[in-house]
Chain A
Amino acid sequence: MRQSVREELGSVIVRFVGEIDLEHSPEARRTLLDSIGRAPGGVVVDLEAVSYIDSSGIASLVEAFQAARKRGTRFGLAVVHPQVLRVLELSRLDKVFPIHATVEEGLGA
């Protein structure tokens, strides 16, 4: 898994590339939690290039989502790969996370 973090007008966009699994979810979790602390405009997680996620990756997203909510920071997912969306649906989290068609839509939400 690779990751990049960029800032746009007070929002942070975290882009992951590859597979978020047991090996990589601790790193993803740290990056997301760090981003929430410095994103007054909110955090958008770009999942366009994530082709696989497991329960540990989902747990990282849930923990970040809850940390953001506690701080009153917006947190959403964008461009979710169909395979990742299926895992969110299996977890019934597709109705919990704000899911945007594009990163730009997530920034404007």
Chain B
Amino acid sequence: MADRGADRSLEHSFPATPEELQGSRDCLRENLQAWGEDDRIVQDVVLAVDEACQNVIRHAYAGDPDGRIQLRVERRDGEIEVWLRDWAESSDPRCLERGRDLDDVRPGGLGTHFIRELMDVAEFVEPPDGRGNLLRMLKRT
């Protein structure tokens, strides 16, 4: 999670539980607003990060309340880069490719679709020590 010339950055670490999501959204939202990002950019990044955190909580940690999530956000001219780290079992990187047919109206399965729609890049990369998962997302601003 290298800081490649970021003029602003945020690092936030929190337990991987549903109860922590509101606080993590508030933290991210407040920082993006303080950095002067447009409302639409703030909304898009907050929703995409929230959905990615949900995937970690529900699927990677499978509800294990002892898991942790580490969020790092770096702002550069023209882009916001997000790194989301967990220490769960490795995720199948193909899970980001699976969308669902939106004409099939049914509950569930929308989170990955939101991430792909809202961010310009979403990809799993190799974590520094090979443990867990590291999701990189990029939003061009």
Contacts and interface: CB of A to CB of B under 8 A. Distances in A.
Interface in A56-93: 56, 58-60, 62-63, 66, 83, 86-87, 90-93
Given A83-B43, A90-B114, A63 B50 contact: no
Nearest to B40: A86
Contacts, number: 60
- Listed residue (A52, A55, A63, A86) with the most chain B CB atoms within 10 angstroms of its CB: A55
Given A23-B21, A91-B102, A54 B43 contact: no
B102 A55 contact: no
B54 A22 contact: yes
Interface stretch (B1-9, B70-78, B105-113): B105-113
Chain B interface size, under 10 / 10 to 19 / 20 to 34 / 35 or more: 20 to 34
B122 to A, nearest CB: 15
A63 B105 CA distance: 9
A95 B41 CA distance: 24
B117 interface: yes
Residue among A66, A90, A93 with most chain B CB within 10 A: A90
Given A23-B18, A55-B51, 7 more contacts: A21-B18, A22-B18, A22-B21, A22-B58, A23-B22, A66-B105, A93-B105
Interface of A: 19, 21-23, 52, 54-56, 58-60, 62-63, 66, 83, 86-87, 90-93, 96
5 contacts: A19-B22, A19-B25, A55-B110, A58-B107, A66-B105
